[in-house]
A = this chain, B = another copy of it.
Amino acid sequence: MIDQHWTFDRQSQTPLYLQLYQQLRKAILQGAFADQRRLPPGRAMAKRLGLALITVSQAYDQLAAEGFVVRRPGAGTFIAHHVPLASDEIATRPFQPTLSSWGQRVAGTAVPTTSKQTKPEIDFGFGRAFPHIFPYDIWRKLLARYLSTDDAMLSRYGSVAGFLPLRQALADYLTRWRGVVCTAERVVIVNGAQQAVDILARLLLEPRDEVLVETPGYADAAALFTLNGAQLTAVPVDDDGFRVDKIPAHSRARLAFVTPSNQFPHGGTLPLARRLALLHWAQRQDALIIEDDYDGELRYDGRPLAALQGLSADERVIYLGTFSKVLFPALRLSYVVLPTALVRPFVQAKQLIDRGAPTLTQAAVADFMVEGHFERHLRHLRQAYGQRRQTLVAALQNHLAGAVQYADEPAGLHVMLYLPEGVTETAVVQAAAEVGVGVYPAAPYFMAHPSPPAILLGFSGLSEPEIAEGVARLGRAIKI
C-alpha cells in the first residue's frame, strides 16, 4: 500500500502533514490497509516519501485524534477496529433524494435562465437600476459611519422584524408620500418582496385555496402561490389595470394579488372606482388583498398616487414595497406593511426562517432616508427615468407607429409592446437579437394561454442614445 501514488505540493497553502493525512484517510476508507491493519512505522514512511519524521507523526496524530488509527506503544499504529476494511462496503453511486410534492413542484418550475451566452449590445432588460445615478459616495459614507463607530451593531443578531429606526423612517415616508396608513410596528423588513409573498402564502393558504392573480401579471408571485398548493384564478387587466368586474361570480378566493400603482407588466393605474370596488369585493368575501407597490415611486407626471392600502379602513390590504428598484437590487431589502393581526405570526415565521436581515445595511438605509438623501435620489431617478421613457416612446412613434400597442402610462421602468396579430414573439426576440438588441418575451407573464404576442422593453439600464438606436434597429428587424 505504501507504494500507491502519493502526491505532495510543497507550494500549497495546505501543510504537508495535512496533505499526507488526507491521502492516508482516503486510503484507509478505501480499504488499502485491509490485509494488515497496520500503518508503516513513521520512520519508514518518512524515508520512503521523502518527508520529515515530524510530518508523518503529525499526520498519524490527526488520524488518531479522529479515531481512524490507534497507537499501541511499542507495537505500532493500527487501523481502528471499527473502520471498515472492505472497500465494497462503501457506496459510491451518488445518493438520489426523493423530493416532496413541494420539491417536485419547485423542480418543475421554469426558472427564467439568465442566459449570459451573448449579452446583446443594446439590452432592454428590466429589473435593472442605472448605476451611475445612485449616490455611491454618500452611501459609502453612511456604511463607513457604522463600520467605524458602532462595532456592537455588527456583532449581535438584529431584530427579526427589522432595524427599528428603518421601520420608523419607512412608516414616516409611506404615510407622507404613499398614503399608506401605518405605524412602525406594522412595518417588517424582508429580504426581497418574494420572501414576503412566500411567508404570506404559507401563513394564509391551505392546499387548493383559490387566489386571484392578474394576467398578465407578476409570474414569480403566482409561482409561489402555486408552490404552496393554491389554485390560481387569473383575472384579465386592461389599460386601467385589474378588471374587478371580471372576478368570477362563483369565486371563493380569500386572497388577491394586485399591482394597483402600475400594473405589472401591462402598465396602467387602477382608478379609484375600481379600487373601491375591489375593497368592497374583499369585504364581501372576507378576503385579503396583497398590494405589490414594486415601483410606485416611479411616476413621471407629478406626485405618485396614493396606495390602495390607505383606502382600506379595516386593514384588509397588505402593502409590499421594495428598495430594489429605487436603490439597487443587490441590496435585497424590501418591506411589508401588515394588518395588525398578522404582525406577530409573520415575525414568528421570519424568526424561524431566517432571523432577520443584516443590520448594517438597514442602519445605512435608515440614515439615507432620515437625512433626506432618499427623497433627493427619488427626484433624480424620476427625472432620469422619465426622460428615458419619453425617448423610448418618441422612438416607438418614429419607428413602430401603428404597428404596436402599449399602455402609455408615464410610470415604471419598462414598456410592454403588443405586437400585430400573427407575429410570434419568439421570432421578434430572435430578429432583434440578430441586430444586437435584447428584448424579452411577455408570454411567461400570462397566466392564461394562448397569450397575445408581446415583448417587454426595459429602459432603466440604457442611455437615451442607446434607447433611440435600439428601437430603430428593432423597427428594422421586425420589418413592419
Residues of B within 8 A of A305 (CB): 65-66
Min CB distance, A81 to chain B, in Å? 9
Q: Is the CB of A158 within 8 A of B330?
A: yes
Residues of B within 8 A of A339 (CB): 94-95, 97
A152 in the interface (beta carbon within 8 A): yes
When C-beta atoms are compared, the residue in chain B nearest to A176 turns out to be B14
When C-beta atoms are compared, the residue in chain B nearest to A282 turns out to be B95
Min CB distance, A388 to chain B, in Å? 15
B-binding segment of A137-145, A430-438, A469-477: A137-145
Q: Is the CB of A288 within 8 A of B352?
A: no
When C-beta atoms are compared, the residue in chain B nearest to A277 turns out to be B82
Interface residues of A in 80-123 (CB under 8 A from B): 80, 82-84, 90-103, 106-107, 109, 111
| Size bracket, chain A contacts | 35 or more
Interface residues of A in 22-44 (CB under 8 A from B): 22, 25, 29
B-binding segment of A45-53, A126-134, A393-401, A414-422: A126-134
Q: Is the CB of A204 within 8 A of B103?
A: yes
Q: Is the CB of A91 within 8 A of B127?
A: no
A92, A97, A223, A315, most chain B CB atoms within 10 A:
A97
Min CB distance, A105 to chain B, in Å? 10
Q: Complex Cα distance A326/B136, Å?
A: 29
Interface residues of A in 301-336 (CB under 8 A from B): 302-303, 305-306, 311, 313-316, 324, 328-332
A387 in the interface (beta carbon within 8 A): no
Given A95-B339, A97-B339, 7 new contacts (CB under 8 A): A65-B305, A95-B341, A99-B345, A144-B144, A192-B354, A195-B353, A224-B352
Q: Is the CB of A139 within 8 A of B143?
A: no
Q: Is the CB of B176 within 8 A of A83?
A: no
Q: Is the CB of B198 within 8 A of A329?
A: no
Residues of B within 8 A of A351 (CB): 111
Min CB distance, A58 to chain B, in Å? 9
Count identical subunits in the complex: 2
Q: Is the CB of A332 within 8 A of B356?
A: yes
Residues of B within 8 A of A179 (CB): 22, 25
Within 8 Å by CB of A147, from B97, B139, B152, B329, lies B139
Q: Is the CB of B288 within 8 A of A95?
A: yes
Residues of B within 8 A of A7 (CB): none
A206 in the interface (beta carbon within 8 A): yes
A156 in the interface (beta carbon within 8 A): yes
When C-beta atoms are compared, the residue in chain B nearest to A358 turns out to be B332
A153 in the interface (beta carbon within 8 A): yes
Q: Is the CB of B157 within 8 A of A136?
A: no
When C-beta atoms are compared, the residue in chain B nearest to A357 turns out to be B332
A243 in the interface (beta carbon within 8 A): no
Contact with B along A206-247 (1 / 0, CB 8 A): 100100000000001001100100000000000000000000
Min CB distance, A445 to chain B, in Å? 15
A2 in the interface (beta carbon within 8 A): no
Q: Is the CB of B25 within 8 A of A100?
A: no
Q: Complex Cα distance A92/B67, Å?
A: 68
Q: Complex Cα distance A355/B306, Å?
A: 28
A68 in the interface (beta carbon within 8 A): yes
Complex A-B: 13 CB contacts under 8 Å: A13-B176, A22-B179, A97-B204, A98-B204, A111-B351, A128-B156, A134-B154, A136-B147, A143-B147, A153-B330, A155-B328, A156-B328, A330-B359
Contact with B along A172-199 (1 / 0, CB 8 A): 0000100100000000000110110010
Q: Complex Cα distance A101/B103, Å?
A: 19
Known: A82-B272, A144-B140. A152 touches B176 (CB 8 A): no
Residues of B within 8 A of A360 (CB): 330
Q: Is the CB of B102 within 8 A of A202?
A: yes
Q: Complex Cα distance A305/B68, Å?
A: 12
Residues of B within 8 A of A98 (CB): 204, 254
When C-beta atoms are compared, the residue in chain B nearest to A112 turns out to be B351
